[in-house]
Structure 1
Amino acid sequence: MRIFSGIQPTGAKHLGNYIGAIRQYVASQEGGDPVICIVDLHSITVAYDPEDLRESTLSLAALLVASGLDPDRCTLFVQSHNTDHAQAAWLLSVVSSFGELRRMTQFKDKAEQQEFISVGLFTYPVLQAADILLYQTDAVPVGEDQRQHVELTRDIAERFNSRFGETFVVPEVLIPKLGAKVTDLQE
């Protein structure tokens, strides 16, 4: 089974990242076909320092390998190093509606916290859909906070396939039993 998972290089990595995501990435190498992407393009939808982003991207790659991801047993890469992601996002945007993007709860939450709200932040879910769909992904392991985005990805894939013929695998949402929402160490 091919899974796709993206992880942003910004922000301090913590136990919740390990329990909720990284540990599963490592386990998915056993008999699976994991595609793990450091999603640096997603990180630039809000204010950022380019040098800090470069450093945190390299640090995250090192952390993932040190945690047990084996580049010989998985696909591990940096999103911005493959321009297909941006191109696919544009193509998927033409089958995505303003209304469905406006309803994304994560956009609403982040927009309330920003003085400047970029179009990139608004279209973030379309780029996420491109990330997932490019790799003919069977399942996407996510926490509850990302379920809505994967459901949108499924809708976009079905709409695209209906309009242009069977092109994309429609991925399943995979919510882990442990670590789907670790908010503190008391859980």
Structure 2
Amino acid sequence: MSKPIVLSGVQPSGELSIGNYLGALRQWQQMQDDYDCQYCVVDLHAITVRQDPKALHEATLDALAICLAVGVDPKKSTLFVQSHVPEHAQLGWLLNCYTQMGELSRMTQFKDKSARHSNDVNVGLFDYPVLMAADILLYGAHQVPVGSDQKQHLELARDIATRFN
């Protein structure tokens, strides 16, 4: 019998905080025996805020190393870099065509981040939840462990999937 699929991602911030460890990475390590775990470094999500390409590359490698260091086992889990799987962006584009502008404009995380970065708000930040929906739907994830700030994005992913299917 196949295991339920879990998808979760971590942004390549270059730093591991206790919040990252307690909120996600420790849970990733603990879920490996019971789930088909798909874990990714979400570098496409990271570029919604301007990044130095070299620093982003280094931070991505660091994030992969941190995942391995905290016990994510490549024999039990799939660990990958989001941008290395072009289907994320491809499905994201298709889902854009099934997403309403009004839905995205109601996302509280966009409102918060755009208020803090008012002179550098880009379409990627606005469209972030659609790429997240693509991440989830691409793997047919049964569980998507996220923080409470992402709950609205999960609900939108459900709504987009219903329309798309």
Give the TM-score band, short-chain normalised.
over 0.9
Is residue 57 of structure 2 the alignment partner of residue 58 of structure 1? no
Aligned to 1:25: 28
- In 2, distance between residues paired with 1:108 and 1:12? 25
Could you tell me how far 1:12 is from its partner in structure 2?
Answer: 2.3
**Percentage of pairs with the same residue:** 55
Amino acid of the residue matched to residue 157 of structure 1?
A: A
SS at match of 1:18: helix
Is residue 39 of structure 2 the alignment partner of residue 36 of structure 1? yes
Aligned to 2:13: 10
Q: Give TM-score scaled by structure 1 length.
A: 0.84
- Where do residues 30-179 of structure 1 align in structure 2 (5 Å cutoff)? 30-114=33-117, 115-161=119-165
Could you tell me how far 1:159 is from its partner in structure 2?
Answer: 1.1
- In 2, distance between residues paired with 1:26 and 1:68? 5
- In 2, distance between residues paired with 1:10 and 1:68? 19
Higher-helix-fraction structure: 2
Runs of 4+ aligned residues of structure 1 deviating over 4 Å after TM superposition are: none
- In 1, distance between residues paired with 2:30 and 2:112? 32
- In 2, distance between residues paired with 1:13 and 1:149? 24
Number of aligned pairs?
161
SS at match of 1:25: helix
- In 2, distance between residues paired with 1:12 and 1:104? 26
- In 2, distance between residues paired with 1:139 and 1:32? 9
Amino acid of the residue matched to residue 136 of structure 1?
A: G
- In 2, distance between residues paired with 1:37 and 1:145? 19
Kept in 1: contact 2:14–2:63 (CA 8 A): no
Q: Show structure 2 runs of 5+ residues with no match.
A: none
SS at match of 2:49: coil
Q: Give TM-score scaled by structure 2 length.
A: 0.95
Q: Show structure 1 runs of 5+ residues with no match.
A: 162-187
Note the aligned Cα RMSD (angstroms).
Answer: 0.8
SS at match of 2:110: helix
